[in-house]
Amino acid sequence: MRTMIFGKTGQVAGELASITWPEGSSVVQLARADCDIADSGAVSRAVHRIRPDAIVNAAAYTAVDRAESEPNVAHRLNRDAPAAMARACAEVGAFLIHLSSDYVFNGLKQGAYVEDDPIAPLSVYGRTKSEGETAVRSEIERHVILRTSWVFASHGNNFVRTMLRLAAEREEIRVVNDQRGTPTAARDIASAIASIIASIAQGRSAWGTFHFASGEATTWHDFARAILDASGLRANLIAITTADYETAARRPMNSVLDCGRIAREYGIDQPVWRQALATVLAELRGSLDPGSGAST
């Protein structure tokens, strides 16, 4: 099984580079310098040159607030690029795994979102991700769209690294306590992707949209508390409402994902985010500056 991965520096892309792939796998990972995914012609040429069995799209525009002022860039990377990948994928007979987001939902549902729930994004980012999903579905039948949420890792821009940096800089940190979701480690997402590819290679395929996220829903405030407690940091954590914290983009108040389908079809269970958090914090303790590169 020859797998081609778009993306090399993002959180999930970085973990895809470090996980152990099944025996017999061949993995080719492309950074932006290798292929600019904003150029559909470059995407097509890269796919036709490598001619993979599977393509993973781990590249995206993920700056949620900045997308409000850069909608054209977000659309090129989150809608047009996946469309080009899906077209090229179909042309060479490969299948596509495309990462998407909980932000395609508006957060008004009381319970966990299932795959068939209506999408209604609140932000440019969410809208471009939902349009990317539509583009993939229209271009290729053999696809797996994997929606996930609240991604964190020991590298990249994410909530864990931001909290550690702020705790080192401030005596008080204000975090919203009325948005619920499920933190998900990038390494767990990468492992799920590898497992799906292995299943398909063995003839056990299920196409369509799937949710994959950790179990145990929480709020941003309570996630921050878990981060600080596990790190032994003592910053004063203040719970605030979404209305108290103005951002350019609106976030869903509830983005909890029901992950029953991926368990039934691929045998992939929800990981425990507290265990993954402990691993990430241990990795960060070994670095000189655990908060470098994080953003508020």
Residues that are catalytic = 125
Residues 6+ apart with CB under 8 A from 264: none
Residue 72, token pair as written in the block: 């054209």
Burial of 13 per CB tally in 10 Å (0-12, 13-18, 19+): buried
Bridge partners (DSSP) of residue 219 are: 180
What does the alpha-carbon distance between residue 163 and residue 227 come to, in Å, rounded to a whole number? 7
- Assign 111 to helix, strand or coil: coil
**In what helix (H) or strand (E) does residue 131 lie, and over which residues does it extend?**
helix 124-139
The CA-based angle 143-90-98, given to 5 degrees, is: 30
Which residue, among 236, 260, 148, has the nearest Cα to 193 in the 3D structure?
148
The alpha helices in 148-272, defined as continuous H runs, are 159-169, 186-201, 220-231, 260-266
Q: C-alpha distances in angstroms, 170 versus 100, 224, 236?
A: 34, 14, 9
Spatial separation of the C-alpha atoms in residues 58 and 36, rounded to whole Å: 13
- Per DSSP, the three-state class of 98 is strand
- The answer to whether the beta carbons of residues 99 and 82 sit under 8 Å apart is no
